[in-house]
Amino acid sequence: MTAPRTRRRSAAYAALALGLAGSLALTGCNSHSSKKSKKTSSSSSKSKKRKIIGGGAAAAGAGAGAASRRVSPCRPSTYRVTFSQQTGPDSHVTVKFKNTTGNTCRLYNGPRLRFNNAKAPLPLLGGEPSVMGSTIDVPAKGYAYAVIPTNTPASKGSEQKSVTIDFMGSTASSLTHGPVTLNFAEKRLHISVGKSKITNWSHSVHGAEVTAGVGN
């Protein structure tokens, strides 16, 4: 074999080796790039899932919050509403409501009371509301109070046999889930009411008494 032929073969081998090395390098780069692409795609997919799940949880939380803010009207019943009468110069009848449920309920204005099946309820001391009027929210197991002043002969009147109870609703003329009737004789109660008026509901008995003009 001559020297020129040997040199030509050596050059060919060298070129082949370089070509193989370049091919392997490109294959390695492509493989590495593919792995990166798969990782990026997987990460993006997980991020989207997290966003979707997070958005659903946020929407559910907002819905629960809105539901918790809805307060139902309080309902009257003879075991939730009680009456008592105080005597003396500041004589008055106290009407006490207890929220026996496990949720907050709402009272509007004052109670509608018709003694001895009267056609018209006892007027509100603050006047009849032209719109919704005042409201108070009574917490679970909490109380609300209204007072009827009976500190004059006319307002004390005579002893009553019964009272029919309605609760006012969200509009001035509406009532909620009534009426119920309380028989004073059955409860052994002595309640005297004449030409008087009743306060709106109050969170405290003292507040109701002050509004009725029989508290200090």
The answer to whether residues 64 and 85 belong to one domain is no
| Domain match, 97 and 142 both | yes
User: Which tops the pLDDT comparison, 58 or 134?
Assistant: 134
Q: Which amino acid is at 202?
A: S
Q: How far apart are CA 23 and CA 158, in angstroms?
A: 113
**Do 193 and 127 have their domain in common?**
yes
29 and 95 belong to one structural domain: no
Last residue within a domain, chosen from 55, 70, 85: 70
pLDDT of residue 69: 65
CA proximity to 141, closest of 101, 105, 97: 101
**Which CATH number does the domain housing residue 146 bear?**
2.60.40
Residue span of the structural domain in which 85 resides: 72-212
Question: What is the reported pTM?
Answer: 0.68
Dist. CA 91–CA 84, nearest whole Å: 11
Return the half-sphere exposure (C-beta side, CA atoms, 13 A cut-off) of residue 64: 6
Query: What would the pLDDT profile of 15-71 be if each residue is shown by its tens digit?
Result: 444 443 444 343 444 444 444 444 444 555 544 444 444 454 444 444 444 444 689
Residue 116, phi then psi, degrees to nearest 5 = 50, 40
Q: What is the total count of domains within the chain?
A: 2
Residues 139 and 150 in one domain: yes
Terminal-to-terminal C-alpha distance of the chain? 132
Is residue 97 located within the same domain as residue 154?
Answer: yes
Average pLDDT score over residue span 192-206? 96
- Give yes or no: residues 95 and 6 share one domain: no
